Amino acid sequence: MSYSAPIKDMLFVLQELAGMAEVAGLPGYEDAGIDTAQAVLEESAKLCEEVLAPLNVEGDRNPSTWKDGEVTATPGFKQAFRQFVEGGWQGVQHPSEYEGQGLPKLIATPCIEMLNASNLSFALCPLLTDGAIEALLTAGSEAQKQRYVPKLISGEWTGTMNLTEPQAGSDLALVRTRAEPQGDGAYRVFGTKIFITWGEHDMAENIVHLVLARTPNAPEGVKGISLFIVPKFLINEDGTLGARNDVHCVSIEHKLGIKASPTTVLQFGDHGGALGYLIGEENRGLEYMFIMMNAARFAVGMQGVAVADRAYQHAVAYAKERVQSRPVDGSAREAVTIIHHPDVRRMLATMRAQTEGARALAYVAAAHSDIAHRHADEKVRAEHLAIYEYLVPIVKGWSTEMSLEVTSLGVQVHGGMGFIEETGAAQYYRDARILPISEGTTAIQANDLVGRKTLRDGGAVAQRLLGEIDTTVGALRAHDVRAFQSIATQLEAGRRALAAVVAFVVEQGKRDPNAVFVGSVPYLKLAGLVLAGWQMARAALVAREKLAEDNAFHAAKIATAQCFAEHVLPQAAALETAVLTARNGEGLLALRPDQF
């Protein structure tokens, strides 16, 4: 199944919803306007459509393989990776002083979406490298930046993130990997790390592992974790590669999906200790690793958008060619393609609406990030950073949960053929299943949304967003058109539900924490629905003003926004009920562990 990058919709969102013009006015981004964005997106689409998308099925059928400690990527991946890095795609959003392109996150985000939509397994390698670059740029010494970042951007080297251990999954306080100082600034690292994405492969000449470990006499718990650079091959003073470091891949996992992406078990220190180099200060490793994790969480949210769009495109193509049954309205005597059947159109419209809503919300979040990093006014930077940080767990959590529904609907559109691997619909469903788990489960995102993003500021950022939704509702009410009145009604109801839940979280956070946190995932899903629905409503308002420019596209945007409002947003009321009826010791919490 071919992939076609939705460039027209991407550019619409960049320009009309995310504020491309404002981002292009930021210091250092003056040349990054909509014309630049269009040129970059068109080039990205060529690579993704022509090179990476055809390898997607190949990666599923012929995954990466492990033998004698070495991992060989799926046939064709190594050559595709060379094309990817030689085109400069690893460096799109990274600083020009380290050989990156220095473009805004807002332009990089649709490129990331295309990359993941075309080949999710392949895209995981650049994703982890992006996170390593971000961590080094933020916490690394200047010497470390100069040594590692240009090589990571060039694709000569790739990066990984090493947190998880057999006994330490989400609870990093249990990390046991140790780092022993050698007296010359280096450390010897010993331990085992699991679930390391692209932790070993043959696509680049070196792999830079960022590893959480404990130094001797470090405090217990997460306060005693430090972050180290542990390269696969040691690096000589002149920058050339030296001896193989004492870090080895001892196995790779056999998985439900993303099969071409090797998920490795790495062993450090079996032969005297792996040489590692401290990043920043001792015992601040988790703080630095969160830089990688936040970058990765946003990117995984984009993976949700991407795989949903790919599944939608696949389902539409099938529905337009599959002939089955006469139309229910009697408009034809013979069987028609299934896209004419109301329920198939319901499924396709639901897939499209949620995908476009998630895309818009993520791109808007990316714009907030750009403003937070580049605006001249410190107060403005702080305001936009707070909004971006509030949105990250929603983009990650809701978009990935959404991708499960959309890819499942994609299988359903195919009927029985969707259950047959040869049609390709099942791969998107299987690949998507990891997304609500990786880089922090949906529950972890929801706990973050509650604890750090709502309780910490008393719901201030949420209230600001609710106020902006009110403005959009008012603009919708000004249009005496049934579609806009309907969108306004449903968005207003969703806004009330979200406001009630935010108030509940703030009021009960300390008084009844179990009740708040048992409803944290419903809160996150509610926030995703309402905020994405808000973006679709904004899109409808713009589309109405531009109908004369491109009637087909803008009329479809209005119809899709109405679909979201009438068929997706009503879930908000049920989620509100699920949160507000929770009480400590009642309902879900009344079931004791021994009763399950």
What's the pLDDT at 488? 98
Helix H segments across 509-546?
A: 513-518, 520-545
Over residues 130-166, the pLDDT tens digits come to: 999 999 999 999 999 999 999 999 999 999 999 999 9
Q: Which residue has the tokens 């830089």?
A: 291
Contact between 224 and 213 under an 8 Å Cβ cutoff? The reply is no
Q: Which residue has the tokens 């058109």?
A: 481
* Separation between Cα atoms, residue 348 and residue 518, nearest integer Å: 32
Print pLDDT tens along the chain (596 aa).
Answer: 799 999 999 999 999 999 999 999 999 999 999 999 999 999 999 999 999 999 999 999 999 999 999 999 999 999 999 999 999 999 999 999 999 999 999 999 999 999 999 999 999 999 999 999 999 999 999 999 999 999 999 999 999 999 999 998 888 888 999 999 999 999 999 999 999 999 999 999 999 999 999 999 999 999 999 999 999 999 999 999 999 999 999 999 999 999 999 999 999 999 999 999 999 999 999 899 888 788 899 999 999 999 999 999 999 999 999 999 998 998 988 999 999 999 999 999 999 999 999 999 999 999 999 999 999 999 999 999 999 999 999 999 999 999 999 999 999 999 999 999 999 999 999 999 999 999 999 999 999 999 999 999 999 999 999 999 999 999 999 999 999 999 999 999 999 999 999 999 999 999 999 999 999 999 999 999 999 999 999 999 999 999 999 999 999 999 999 999 999 999 999 999 999 998 766 888 888 899 99
User: In terms of Cα–Cα distance, which of 535, 581, 290 is closest to 395?
Assistant: 535
Contacts of 451 (CB under 8 A, 6+ apart): none
Residues forming the active site: 439
Gyration radius of the chain's alpha carbons: 24
* Separation between Cα atoms, residue 221 and residue 520, nearest integer Å: 25
* Separation between Cα atoms, residue 200 and residue 71, nearest integer Å: 6
Let me know how many helices (H) and strands (E) the chain has, helices first: 19, 12
User: In terms of Cα–Cα distance, which of 7, 12, 32 is closest to 370?
Assistant: 32
pTM: 0.97
Looking from the CA of 405 toward its CB, the CA atoms found within 13 Å total 17
User: In terms of Cα–Cα distance, which of 388, 406, 420 is closest to 303?
Assistant: 406
User: In terms of Cα–Cα distance, which of 172, 222, 195 is closest to 444?
Assistant: 172
Backbone angles phi, psi at 161, to 5 degrees: -125, 120
Cα–Cα–Cα angle for 459, 460, 466, rounded to 5 degrees: 85
What's the length of the chain? Answer: 596
In order, the DSSP letters of 307-343 are HHHHHHHHHHHHHHH-B-S--TT-S-SS--BGGGSHH
Over residues 243-285, the pLDDT tens digits come to: 999 999 999 999 999 999 999 999 999 999 999 999 999 999 9
* Separation between Cα atoms, residue 576 and residue 512, nearest integer Å: 17
* Separation between Cα atoms, residue 521 and residue 558, nearest integer Å: 29
